[in-house]
Amino acid sequence: MSELVLPHGFEQSVELPAPRQQVFDYLDDFERLGEHMMRSSWMMAGSRMRYQFDAARGREVGARVQLTSSFLGIGLAIAEEVIEREPPQFKSWHTLGAPRMLILAAYRMGFSVEPTRQGSRLQVFIDYAIPQSGIGRLLGRLFAGVYARWCVRSMLASATGHFGAAAELADAAISLHSTASRSAPR
């Protein structure tokens, strides 16, 4: 299998007043982590994703997660696989095959949790590619960055809503790197 080339990315961090293991355990549940995708919102054009899990439910390397939906009448289907998971430090997953998405061609997402004096520092990232042809190319150029930031910030908002936030840290837009440059979230 060839290496995914994911030239765009976004990451953001927040400090949480909770122990590292509790933060990891909370985010290790894809239904909590992706709750923003399961709610109707303007970013999802009023639609919502449905999750289907294998027996591992996304909690081990190799676990599979399937997301399905309809966006403006177009069927969407995304298969993901957990590729790294080392509790309570980090977890990452990526798309498999040729996902049916509109503004992203493929992605790799993940999070890391580092202990701090006040609790934990949570960092969430997404690395992604936009479609290279058709309407997806145009939509990707227009909206992929906005969508990536929304996904990362929504995951952080879920954690801060649950644990509270000690301090929000700067976000970073990343470009021109691939998954090879990131073995675990920075």
Question: What radius of gyration, in Å, describes the C-alpha atoms of the chain?
Answer: 16
pLDDT band, residue 67 (cuts 50/70/90):
confident
DSSP one-letter string for the chain: -PPP---EEEEEEEEESS-HHHHHHHHTSHHHHTHHHHS--TTTTT---EEEE-TTTT-STT-EEEEEEEETTEEEEEEEEEEEEETTTEEEEEE-SS-B-SS-SEEEEEEEEEE-SSSEEEEEEEEEE--SSHHHHHHHHHHHHHHHHHHHHHHHHHHHHHH--SEEEEEEEEES--GGG-SS--
Q: Domain locations in the chain?
A: 8-181
Each residue of 7-17: pLDDT tens digit? 999 999 999 99
Q: Tell me the fold of 8-181.
A: Alpha-D-Glucose-1,6-Bisphosphate; Chain A, domain 4 (3.30.530)
Neighbours of 57 (CB within 10 A): 16
Each residue of 146-176: pLDDT tens digit? 989 999 999 999 999 999 876 555 555 554 4
Each residue of 31-51: pLDDT tens digit? 877 665 544 544 444 456 788
pLDDT surpassing 50 at residue 95: yes
pLDDT at residue 50, rounded to an integer: 80
Q: Count of residues for the chain?
A: 186
